[in-house]
Structure formats: C-alpha cells, structure tokens
Copies of this chain bind each other. A is one copy, B any other.
Amino acid sequence: MAHGALCFLCPGLWISGEEIAAQMGVSRAAVWKQVRALRASGYRIESSPRRGYRLLEADRLDPERIRSGLQTKFLGRELHYFREVESTNDVSRSLAESCPDGTVVLAEVQTRGRGRLARSWASPPGGIWMSVVLKPALPLSRAYRANMAVSLAVAKALSRLYQLRAAIKWPNDILIGGRKISGILMEVRAELDRLDYVIAGVGLNVNIDPSRFPAEWNATSISDQLGHDVSRTELVQEILREIEEAYLKLGSEEIFEEWRSLSATTGRYVRISSLEGDFEGEAVSLGEDGSLCIKTENGLQRVLAGDCLHLRGREEA
C-alpha cells in the first residue's frame, strides 16, 4: 500500500498530485505521504507545486528491452520482472522445480532481501537484485562451482563495461577499492548424486548513493565509483552474458583459474569465522574446491565457507 502511488509515477513524466489522488481514490495529503515514504525507500521523486510529481529513474529496468538486447543462448530467456518482491531468491525457489535452466528473476526493490545466513540485505531502488536458476549436471559436492562462476561473471561485467577493477572477496562478495559493491547468495537443492538446482542471487549496488548505508558496511556503488548513473538494462544483459559464458565451462580448470586470479583475499591477513572454527592468519591460497587456505599460528588451515574479515595489515585492499 505504501508503494501504491508508484504505479502512477512514470519515469521522466510529470503527473499532478490531483490526478494521482483521483485515480487512487485518496486525498492529495495521502498522495504526499506516500511520496515521502517512497523517497525514504530510496526513490528519487521530483515535486513541483505546478506540475506535480516526476519519478527520476534514469533507467527503469524494462524486461522487454533487456530481452531484446540479450546476447545469450538460453540464460535469461525466461525472465520474470517485478517492481517489488520480498526476495528474488524466494520467488526463484517457488519456480525452480519446473522452470527452465537459466531462468532469471529480477526486481526493482526487495523488501526482505537476504544475505548469507539469513542476514538482511538492503535492496533499495537503483540496484540490481536478481536471481538466476541454474540446473548444472554436477554432483552435490561440486555446487561451489556455480558460486565461482557467478562471482566471476559479475566481476568481469564490471571490468568490461566500466573498466572498474573488481576483485572477489572470499567466499562471495565483490569489492572495488576494498569496498563492497556486490554479494552473491547461493542456495541449492540436491541429492548426493546431482544438483536439482542452484539459485544464485546477485545483489549489486548500481545507481545508489552509498552514503545511505551505514558507514561500517564500507559499501560502494557503480555511480559512486564513476560519478554518474549507468544503464542497468545494459548491465543486466552483460552480467547474464558473462554468467552464461562461465556456466558453459563450469567444470573447467579455466573457471577456477580466473576466479583465483581475481581474488581480493589471498595475500591478506584475515579473520575467519566458520562452522569449522575461527581462525586468523594470512590467506595464502585458494583451493580448486573453493576453499581458502590460511597460515595460522598453528599451521595451515583450510576452510570451505564462512565469514571473512580482511584485517588491515601490510597492505590495503
């Protein structure tokens, strides 16, 4: 309900408060209240006493435009677009059993976006909040390969389109200049023998002012890095192209080598918190199984997944 007025706001076009009020059957004061709520959620809405309201969305995500310019064979050919969902991963899960390999769920806003381990994930307007359903012919124990492929794809898309030097923070964040721009959330359903499906959720700060996030998140965005907004439509297309490219060689040595070469973590002094224990030391190498090897006071330690804090040390990321 809070976002009801959004339906009447068309990017770039003025519409009077009177007209919105009439169409929604509410008072003009109620329309104004909704506009304030939308602004608080991150929508950029211009207002003028004479002309009314205008939504400033440089590049509203248009599923038709995304599809028409898509350079993939199958990835994203089935694309579900929402203005607002609770979580694109949850929507994907409801589709995953019967949808084709490579189905994409994309939303302008997530109201209950999730990060790893059920942590909340801020997903305001201006970002890319997208999940891809993959059905690779892999045994369960190779599921981490999908995480490698998608992390790699996001990092490569940022480099290729904007010449941003994106690095992969183990296990599943993308950093630019040591600040977080993207996170990947991978969920799987499987038997021992075979993955039923993988859902790779991608959260990416695109045209977002990172000062709206708490400073301790150490977040950045593409607009923050470049000083101007970019076309999210083009970026979605490029990410999907890169995901498909990586997906088609999922089992290859090449994926691992590329993923490893983009690591922001190896060579850093890190603190790891995981189900396998807490460790501190130098991150010395990455394993073909996606694991991180840490040189601790008590010797080498391999960790398969967990929280990783890059500690300040010999080198700034």
Contacts and interface: CB of A to CB of B under 8 A. Distances in A.
Interface of A: 116-117, 137-144, 147, 171-172, 185-194, 274-276, 289-290, 304-306
Contacts of A137: 275
A36 to B, nearest CB: 36
B141 A289 contact: yes
A191 B119 CA distance: 12
What is the copy number of this chain in the assembly? 2
A276 B137 CA distance: 9
Contact of A274 (B171, B188, B191, B193): B193
Contacts of A289: 141
A142 B186 CA distance: 16
A185 B194 CA distance: 12
14 contacts: A116-B192, A138-B275, A139-B276, A140-B143, A140-B144, A143-B192, A171-B192, A188-B188, A188-B189, A188-B190, A192-B305, A193-B305, A194-B275, A194-B305
Contact of A190 (B139, B142, B187, B193): B187
B139 A304 contact: yes
Contacts of A147: 192
A139 B277 CA distance: 11
Contact of A191 (B185, B190, B191, B304): B185
Contacts of A116: 191-193
A172 B192 contact: yes
Nearest to A141: B304
B191 A187 contact: yes
B275 A193 contact: yes
A138 B306 CA distance: 11
A142 B291 CA distance: 12
